[in-house]
Amino acid sequence: MIAAAHALLESGPEALWGPESDAFVDEVSCRHPAGETYRARTVEAMARCSIADDTSRGQFASDIYRHFIWTHFAAKLVMAATPAAAFGAVLQHVKLDELLRASDAIGPAILSGFHYTGYPLIALSVAMSPAAPLITKARVDVLERSDSASRLNDRVVYLSDRSAPLRLTRALKQGQSIWAMPDVVLPSVRTVQVQFLGCEMEVVAGLGRIAQLSRRPALPLFWVVESGVAALHPGPPILPEESEQEFIQTLVTGQADFVAHHPTHWLEWYSLLTDAPLVRAEVKQGNETMWSSITAALQ
């Protein structure tokens, strides 16, 4: 695995979309302690939503798992090891034109998508673009060790901070967009129950309140990373005049439609399960175990 990591890094950021990346993903995929859990629980969640049939859900889950490993390990490894080069490569591979046009048209907004394939790369590209939103993150991770992180420190808000909602609201009121992904719920955060592809789903409630207090809309975002290219597509703005519940439901419904058409690109299917926090904890623990090994490649 370390050799595969070295091969990926030595080939440069463009290798993220090449065979070196595939080889690294293969190595990490078979060693991740929570890999089997991730796949099995993804199948279970897809069945709850009647996505795909019984015979094809296993293959879907395997594809999602590879996208998960690529996102959490290959992409983050390259971003952490060679941040400047990674940023240059990302700019070549992520198309922001539609987002920037929409952003110009509506002004400061809550840029919001789910955790789709490659989301750290997408967040980096948007953060460094003229849209320059304040980026929300659940926690400090390997990326904070990199130079690119230090360039972005003043644009990152950690959701674990008590002041996070205030920082986000103030940013919007002062003319800066924010980037938030509401499909991952942190412990002790207020949630709201919404409908997602016929299932009940708990999502972060704060975006509705922040929209109302700042009087700024949400701009839903969608993307798929395919053949080394990701184009961000904004959906129709969601206005803050809606109630908090309606605001979040509208946001989630838009994402659900996208997920139904691109089921292998949503990495958080297990969010739909009643024991999602336990599954997430197991996956997170597995991630940390893997990173403790991979870090050797960074050194």
Partner 1 sequence: MKQPGVPNAATCEVYGLNATTLTHDAIMERIRAAIRSMKGAGLSDGEIGEGTALWPTGDPDQASLGFDSLDFLELVVRLEDLYGWSLPEDLIDASRFQTVGDLAAVAQAVLGGDMLVEETGVNAASAGHGAS
Task: Please tell me what DSSP assigns to residue 75.
Answer: I
Report the residue number, 214 or 264, with the smaller CB distance to partner 1: 214
Looking at residue 246, its amino acid is E
Report the residue number, 124 or 211, with the smaller CB distance to partner 1: 211
Report the residue number, 120 or 208, with the smaller CB distance to partner 1: 208
Is position 155 an interface residue for partner 1 (rule: CB under 8 A)? no
Contacts of 90 (CB under 8 A, 6+ apart): 13, 121, 124, 125
Is position 288 an interface residue for partner 1 (rule: CB under 8 A)? no
Is position 163 an interface residue for partner 1 (rule: CB under 8 A)? yes
Is position 149 an interface residue for partner 1 (rule: CB under 8 A)? no
Query: How many of the chain's residues bind partner 1 (CB under 8 A)?
Result: 17
Stretch that binds partner 1, among 73-81, 84-92, 164-172, 176-184 (CB under 8 A): 164-172
Is position 188 an interface residue for partner 1 (rule: CB under 8 A)? yes
CA distance 234 to 222: 6
DSSP states of 193-226 as a string? Answer: EEEETTEEEEEESHHHHHHHHHT--EEEEE--EE
CA distance 94 to 145: 23
Task: For residue 238, give Cα distances in angstroms to 2, 79, 217.
Answer: 45, 32, 5
Least distance to partner 1, CB of residue 225, Å: 33
Report the residue number, 147 or 161, with the smaller CB distance to partner 1: 161
Is position 194 an interface residue for partner 1 (rule: CB under 8 A)? no
Considering only residues 53, 97, 154, 162, which one is a binding residue for partner 1 as defined by CB under 8 A? 162
E strand map for 205-265? 218-222, 225-226, 229-231, 233-234
Site string for partner 1, 199-218 (x = CB under 8 A): ------xx--xx--x-----
Considering only residues 151, 167, 233, 262, which one is a binding residue for partner 1 as defined by CB under 8 A? 167
Task: For residue 92, give Cα distances in angstroms to 14, 197, 225.
Answer: 9, 34, 13
The neighbouring-strand residues paired with 231 are 95
Q: Is the Cβ–Cβ distance between 73 and 283 less than 8 Å?
A: no
Q: Which two tokens stand for residue 216?
A: 């700024």
Q: Which of residues 207-266 bind partner 1 (CB under 8 A)?
A: 209-210, 213
Least distance to partner 1, CB of residue 26, Å: 41
Least distance to partner 1, CB of residue 141, Å: 19
Least distance to partner 1, CB of residue 261, Å: 32
The neighbouring-strand residues paired with 272 are none
Helical packing angle, 57-69 and 19-31, nearest 10°: 110
Q: Which two tokens stand for residue 150?
A: 């230090």
Least distance to partner 1, CB of residue 168, Å: 9
Residues that bind partner 1 (CB under 8 A): 161-167, 169-170, 188-190, 205-206, 209-210, 213
